[in-house]
């Protein structure tokens, strides 16, 4: 006769949570860890499991980070990161396990739903939850300050990074997400995108200092962010590495940033930022902003970019 004691799961509030980086999920599972789908986290089903001690979790992060402004940058909008800031962000400045802890906290406090459109995970249709950083750019001090972290679904995140969506060939889908979530007309969404690219161009001229103060007083291993000029070098170096991964012939290099004949032939010249074509075009020496690909068969010249000349984008 069995005389042992069957121990039931004591519940989430008493579990020993584990900090398991994504690439170590298989090892944790093999060691006996269990996955809580509602919390999106691994836990030890029994205390003192030696196989899992290396992932023993620290206390959960607070749901409001010190100095975080959760009202900043609400809703869905195109939020382009200046090219001088590419590849240096929260994720690059914290340990992988801490990034996972931050993501879990963001998803948990958002109720496991996108904070822009309200949908939850639907893996069957490719909808997941992702963490996005909201930044404030102070032109006077040249400081890029982290204001909040937000939970977005796959499609809202794609629309937020509209330039990346274009590079991947998903422009129309990203535009329709802006229209559907915000109740905008397609024309209004196009104007919003153009204005976002004007701001992106202006900010990309600046070497920004990264400010992550809202992460300093929490239990996170924070690395020193690179200085402004260093960040531009990091962006350039990373782009070069990524270009090599696309299997371009070794002798082929991306052109330097500058004005080139517009490949669409709609305008005289178009600005190439060193990695991709932009919305900034020129006719007769006058620079202005126009969509990269005209939707619905309509062609618009766009708004003038505050008198910027073709010689100085």
pTM for the full model? 0.68
At residue 9, does pLDDT exceed 70? no
**Using CA atoms, how far apart are residues 214 and 198, in angstroms rounded to an integer?**
29
pLDDT score at 107: 93
Percent of the chain whose predicted confidence (pLDDT) is above 70: 80
Tell me which of 47-61, 193-207, 210-224, 231-245 is least confident. Answer: 231-245
**Using CA atoms, how far apart are residues 173 and 162, in angstroms rounded to an integer?**
10
pLDDT band at 10 (very low <50, low <70, confident <90, very high): low
Average pLDDT over residues 73-95: 93
pLDDT score at 14: 64
> Residue 18 — φ and ψ, nearest 5°?
-120, 140
pLDDT score at 275: 62
Could you tell me whether strands 143-153 and 304-309 are parallel, antiparallel, or unpaired per DSSP bridges? unpaired
- In the chain, the DSSP E strands lie at 16-18, 34-36, 41-44, 129-138, 143-153, 209-211, 258-261, 269-272, 277-283, 286-289, 304-309
DSSP letter string, 44-67: ESSTT-GGGGGGBPPPPPPSS-TT
Chain centroid to CA 29: how far? 29
Chain centroid to CA 148: how far? 12
Domain boundaries, the chain: 12-55, 63-253, 255-313
Tell me which of 80-89, 114-123, 244-253 is least confident. Answer: 244-253
Average pLDDT over residues 87-93: 91
pLDDT score at 204: 93
CA dihedral 84, 85, 86, 89 (to 10 degrees): 170
**Using CA atoms, how far apart are residues 8 and 221, in angstroms rounded to an integer?**
34
**Using CA atoms, how far apart are residues 62 and 17, in angstroms rounded to an integer?**
15
pLDDT band at 245 (very low <50, low <70, confident <90, very high): low
Structure confidence by residue, pLDDT tens digits, 213-240? 999 989 888 888 888 788 888 877 777 7
Structure confidence by residue, pLDDT tens digits, 141-185? 999 999 999 999 999 999 999 999 998 889 999 999 999 999 999
Question: CB 300: neighbour CB atoms within 10 A?
Answer: 13
Average pLDDT over residues 87-108: 90
Structure confidence by residue, pLDDT tens digits, 254-288? 567 778 776 556 678 777 776 666 777 788 777 77
């Amino acid at each position: 006769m069995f005389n042992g004691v069957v121990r039931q799961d004591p519940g989430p509030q008493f579990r020993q949570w584990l900090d398991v980086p994504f690439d170590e999920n298989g090892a944790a599972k093999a060691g006996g860890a269990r996955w809580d789908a509602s919390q999106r986290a691994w836990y030890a089903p029994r205390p003192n499991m030696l196989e899992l001690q290396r992932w023993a979790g620290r206390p959960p992060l607070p749901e409001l980070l010190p100095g975080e402004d959760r009202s900043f940058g609400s809703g869905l909008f195109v939020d382009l990161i200046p090219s001088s800031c590419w590849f240096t962000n929260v994720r690059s400045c914290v340990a992988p396990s801490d990034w996972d802890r931050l993501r879990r906290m963001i998803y948990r406090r958002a109720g496991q739903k996108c904070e822009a459109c309200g949908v939850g995970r639907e893996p069957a249709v490719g909808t997941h939850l992702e963490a996005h950083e909201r930044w404030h750019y102070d032109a006077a001090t040249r400081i890029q300050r982290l204001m909040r972290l937000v939970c977005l679904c796959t499609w809202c995140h794609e629309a937020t990074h509209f330039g990346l969506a274009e590079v991947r060939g998903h422009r129309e889908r990203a535009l329709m997400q802006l229209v559907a979530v915000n109740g905008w007309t397609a024309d209004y969404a196009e104007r919003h995108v153009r204005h976002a690219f004007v701001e992106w161009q202006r900010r990309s001229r600046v070497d920004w200092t990264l400010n992550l103060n809202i992460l300093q007083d929490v239990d996170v291993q924070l690395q020193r962010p690179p200085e402004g000029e260093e960040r531009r070098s990091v962006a350039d170096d990373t782009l070069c590495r990524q270009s090599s991964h696309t299997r371009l012939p070794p002798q082929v290099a991306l052109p330097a940033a500058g004005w080139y004949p517009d490949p669409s032939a709609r305008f005289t010249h178009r600005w190439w930022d060193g990695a991709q074509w932009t919305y900034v075009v020129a006719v007769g020496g006058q620079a202005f902003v126009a969509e990269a690909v005209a939707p619905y068969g309509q062609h618009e010249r766009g708004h003038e970019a505050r008198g910027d000349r073709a010689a100085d984008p």
